[in-house]
Amino acid sequence: MLFNRHHYAGYAMMKQGDLQRILADARRIEAGRKTREAKKKMAKKKKATARQVLKSKTVWINLILGAAVPFLVSLGVDIKPEQASTGLVLVNLILRAVTNQPLNEK
């Protein structure tokens, strides 16, 4: 809608309180827009983080070893829980020494 001279006359007759309310409304609208933008960025970041986890060799090794121990036990291999946890810790220490970038940079 285009402003005409009647609109301008209305602004000239506004009181200080009216202008303050208009400015406060404009600030609330702007704050809401920024909040929506921030939520969109967080959603994109969460998606990226899920993809980064899938790229992690450490996560995949832990999943494979976590599934391998019960499988080996079902085949009759005698593995004690202390041995399984020690092996998992050693593998994670080796992977940690080899890894050169954190998960959020993959």
**103, 56 contact by CB (below 8 A):** yes
pLDDT of residue 75: 92
pLDDT higher than threshold 80 for residue 19: no
C-alpha closest to that of 62 among 99, 81, 79, 87? 87
pLDDT of residue 1: 45
C-alpha closest to that of 62 among 83, 82, 86, 91? 91
Greatest Cα-to-Cα distance within the chain, rounded to the nearest angstrom? 92
| 47-93: pLDDT as tens digits | 767 777 788 888 888 899 889 888 988 999 888 888 888 988 999 88
Task: Measure the CA–CA gap between 104 and 92, rounded to whole angstroms.
Answer: 18
Banded pLDDT at 12 (limits 50, 70, 90) = low
Sequence ranges of the domains in the chain: 1-45, 56-106
The predicted model scores a pTM of 0.48
